[in-house]
Amino acid sequence: MKNIDAKGHVTGKSIYVDDIPTINGTLYGVIFDSPLAHGHIESVDYSKALTLPGVITILTHEDIPGENQIGGIIPDEELFASKDVHFAGQPIALIIAESNQIGFEARKLIDINILEKEVIVDPREAQKKDQLILPPRTFELGDTENSWEKCAHIFEGQADSNGQEHLYIETQGAYAIPLENGHIRISSSTQGPTAVQRITARVLNMGMNKIEVDVVRLGGGFGGKEDQATPWAVMAALGVQILNKPVKVILSRMDDMRLTGKRHPYSSDYKIGFSKDLKIMAYETTFFQNAGAAADLSPAVMERTLFHATNSYFIPNVKATAYSCKTNLPPNTAFRGFGGPQGMFVIESALAHAAQELGVSAYQLQKNNLLKNGNEFPYGQIADGVELTKIWSEMESKFDIEAVEKEINYFNSSNTDIKKGFSLMPVTFGISFTKTPMNQARALVHIYTDGSVGVSTGAVEMGQGVNTKMLQITAQVFSLDPKRVRLESTNTTRVANTSPSAASSTADLNGKALHQACSALLERLKNCAADHFGAQSKDIEIKSETIYCQGERTDIRWNDLVLMAFLKRICLTENGHYATPRINFNMEKEKGHPFAYHVYGLALTEITVDCIRGTSQFDSVKIVHDFGKTMNPSVDFGQIEGGLVQGIGWMTMEEISYNDKGQLLSNSLSTYKVPDIYSVPKDVIIEPLKTEGNDMAILKSKAVGEPPLMYGIGAYFAIENAVRAFNPNFNSTFDAPFTHEKILMGLYEISESERVDS
Ligand code: LUZ
Ligand code: MOS
């Protein structure tokens, strides 16, 4: 089945928040944010702005009836700064005006006086000054300390990865409207409708039951709307509460880029030790996560970094420590992979470093240390269903890694100005929210008397195709034409207490809840048919909307049966609930079984570098991916391609830049480069691994949202490989992104001794 949204998207008919027809009298909110990254607010003068015609009011912390607090994990973030500001772009007030344009004009008329304080932008500096979001955490397996002396080779270094702007095509926004009795309905571009509802209730000091959050779809989220869609929705709702008028808050692109957090930059140390036969004996790593000025989701992101510190390798002795460092940047947040990619970049850097010094190819080290069934992850889970060895052989048999290496070496020996490079990037990604209680979902299914079906779940459609998958599940269980199923908006009054659509788990969790609801309804209908035929429910089958009894086709159709059930006063509505079995995690011991299963894969990346200009072009990325049994190849292949290219962007061109005053320099699309059609690899080949799939996955179709992003990490090491072919003296810096500028510097960098000689 094709993505059910495809037609609406390409014809421009899909509805996003800003497309919802506005009610007469709708007002528009524009955020006034801190110009400085750290300081004490001495005074703010709104008087000039308030006199601008069309400005209705300006809301500040003083207008908040409940708590001025939006922190989800830790209550450390105000909706509107009251006394101090902690990052440039921190909201201080909401200007409500008759139009956005007037709001923007009014914003220029606000005078603010801030007593500047010391600004920290570097996570290591924050850690030294004890500016931490929460105490550090350490995952340990075996005994690294006593392992080093047994190692034949030990390598140490530093690896840094930069942040990443989500750049969802639809910017953050919400539209709130007043209902009777002071109730409020919010249309929000959020991955977490319940988060919006909960925080709005807290700030507005009203029951969650009085706030309805509705989500039709998002123009992209990528994690950026897991937590950070909330403040704009709360602001709009506050405007409604105070003015009793509809209020829309939609961020302009530059406001969105300045005000919101991004992927966490990390600076990390590693030490890796090998036995004589190049088995990894010990690995120590310390992560310095740049959390920004408030916790947001940073503690959970940091945890996922620890969970993925060893990527696809078995290492018997591991010590991984992570610091979530408080800096004066916008609070960084969820971004596809959620800390996992940052952890994996470090071990891949350690392996690249080791390979370089040992004079072997990095892929030999990778292959030599792949995780196998029965191995223990540093967090205690025992690996099972590991597909890595099979995936590796599949890659070798389909694409002959050694031949690729030989060809590239031959190419490089016969070309001086252009060089090729390659890399392999294995991925092992844990599926489940690492916070066990979040792994639950519900679905509400109505069968209407005409036989058509309405489905509500907690899943938010953000372009990933989850609605298509939900529709498929419904149609499959009922054996119904998919056209007869409607996917409703995600709404907190129909499905309550939802986890955000995140962690690659949305289709699994909501799909399983939906499967249960549909199965229960089906059983009810079968019982009804059995009654009618004087048979038992096990004798009844429904195939393509026709009822079969004891294998015989009957003249009862789906519609007839539904109506029959209704007339017999049988309930045609069902609520399904799913909670992932078996998973657990003990944070005191830092051990448990946090993941329902893992997704595995391997990418082979080939690149050509123009050694005169420092530019590069990806020739191909070949991927062997463990989909389980994909329930929708076109949706899932789309996720692989998108994730790959987004990962390549993070690793090679997207360069977030703040100055030392905490001001965002890469603040627009002219200064921040994301991959476009020209930077996509010429060839992307995706080979699904032949496998049985996993029962914990919906219809055995494994989670596919986040894992492919990490294939993009291979891009960094493929470039390195090509640069070294041109300049054998190139010193790896392991500081992503590997931009064209850095490529050029790397190509012409000379060794310390040559520098002295010349
Ligand atoms: N969000 C979250 C996530 O709250 N917990 C997670 O474990 C997670 N993992 C990936 C992406 N978002
Ligand atoms: Mo996400 S990073 O799964 O919101």
Q: Which atom of ligand 2 is nearest to the CA of 221?
A: 4
For the chain, the average pLDDT equals 97
Contact 228, 260 (CB under 8 A): yes
Structure confidence at residue 199 as a pLDDT band (50, 70, 90):
very high
H or E, element range at 9: helix 6-10
Contact 204, 241 (CB under 8 A): yes
Q: What is the DSSP string of 483-540?
A: GGEEEPPEETTTS-SPPPS-TT-HHHHHHHHHHHHHHHHHHHHHHHHHHHHT--GGGE
> Which structure tokens are listed for 362?
């990095």
Separation of CA 334 and ligand 2 centre (Å): 5
Residue 750 pLDDT > 80, yes or no?
no
Gap between the Cα atoms of 250 and 254, Å rounded: 12
Separation of CA 223 and ligand 1 centre (Å): 8
Mean pLDDT of 127-139: 98
Q: Which residues are within 8 A (CB) of 401 and not within 5 positions of it... i.e. 6 or more apart? A: 363, 395, 424, 604
Contact 232, 199 (CB under 8 A): no
Tell me, rounded to whole angstroms, the distance of Cα 492 from its chain centroid: 22
Say what percent of the chain tops pLDDT 70.
99
CA nearest ligand 2 atom 4, residue:
223
pLDDT of residue 692: 87
pLDDT of residue 756: 59
Q: Name the residue among 182, 232, 231, 230 with its Cα closest to residue 206.
A: 182
Mean pLDDT of 67-72: 97
Contact 302, 289 (CB under 8 A): yes
Place of tokens 């603010």: 112
Separation of CA 398 and ligand 2 centre (Å): 32
- Determine whether 184 is exposed, middle or buried from the number of CB atoms within 10 Å of its CB (0-12, 13-18, 19+): buried
DSSP-derived 3-state class of residue 748: helix
Mean pLDDT of 628-652: 98
Indicate whether residue 223 lines ligand 2 (CB < 6 A). yes
- Do you find a cis peptide bond into 675, omega within 30 degrees of 0? no
Candidate list 706, 741, 752, 754, residue with the active-site label: 706
485-487/453-457 β-pairing: parallel
CA distances from 581 to 437, 440, 509, 586 (A): 11, 10, 11, 16
CA nearest ligand 1 atom 12, residue:
503
- Determine whether 111 is exposed, middle or buried from the number of CB atoms within 10 Å of its CB (0-12, 13-18, 19+): exposed
Q: How many CB atoms lie within 10 A of CB 404?
A: 18
Contact 312, 427 (CB under 8 A): yes
> Which structure tokens are listed for 343?
């952890």
Model confidence over 654-693: pLDDT tens digits? 999 999 999 999 999 999 999 999 999 999 999 999 998 8
Q: Name the residue among 332, 508, 497 with its Cα closest to residue 433.
A: 508
Amino acid at 601: G
Gap between the Cα atoms of 237 and 27, Å rounded: 12
Q: Name the residue among 540, 209, 504 with its Cα closest to residue 341.
A: 504
Gap between the Cα atoms of 596 and 619, Å rounded: 36
Higher pLDDT, 750 or 104: 104
Q: Which atom of ligand 2 is nearest to the CA of 334?
A: 2
pLDDT of residue 757: 55
pTM over 0.85: yes
pLDDT of residue 432: 98
pLDDT of residue 693: 87
Indicate whether residue 334 lines ligand 1 (CB < 6 A). yes
Q: Name the residue among 671, 666, 664 with its Cα closest to residue 328.
A: 664
Q: Which atom of ligand 2 is nearest to the CA of 706?
A: 3
> Which structure tokens are listed for 697?
């996955």
Mean pLDDT of 35-52: 98
Residue 754 pLDDT > 70, yes or no?
no
Dihedral angle over CA of 468, 689, 679, 718, nearest 10: 150
CA distances from 75 to 119, 294, 437 (A): 22, 9, 19
Indicate whether residue 334 lines ligand 2 (CB < 6 A). yes
Long-range contact list for 555-559, CB < 8 A, 24+ apart? 556/529, 556/532, 558/451, 558/478, 558/480, 559/450, 559/451
Model confidence over 588-597: pLDDT tens digits? 999 999 999 9
Separation of CA 715 and ligand 2 centre (Å): 22
Amino acid at 595: F
Structure confidence at residue 752 as a pLDDT band (50, 70, 90):
low
Contact 298, 123 (CB under 8 A): no
Angle formed by the axes of helices 466-478 and 506-533, nearest 10°: 20
Mean pLDDT of 282-303: 98
Q: Name the closest ligand to CA 431.
A: 1
Angle formed by the axes of helices 340-358 and 713-726, nearest 10°: 30
Mean pLDDT of 90-101: 99
Choose one of 433, 435, 436 to mutate for the ligand 1 pocket test, by most ligand atoms within 8 angstroms of C-beta.
Answer: 433
- 706 in active site: yes
Model confidence over 359-377: pLDDT tens digits? 999 999 999 999 999 999 9
CA count, 13 A, side-chain hemisphere, 356: 24
74: left (phi > 0), else alpha (psi -120 to 50), else beta? Answer: beta
Gap between the Cα atoms of 757 and 751, Å rounded: 10
Mean pLDDT of 274-299: 98
Q: Which atom of ligand 2 is nearest to the CA of 503?
A: 3
Model confidence over 392-443: pLDDT tens digits? 999 999 999 999 999 999 999 999 999 999 999 999 999 999 999 999 999 9
Looking at residue 23, what DSSP letter applies? Answer: P
Long-range contact list for 403-408, CB < 8 A, 24+ apart? 404/604, 404/606, 405/361, 408/606, 408/725
Gap between the Cα atoms of 275 and 261, Å rounded: 42
pLDDT of residue 464: 98
DSSP-derived 3-state class of residue 702: coil
Separation of CA 433 and ligand 2 centre (Å): 10
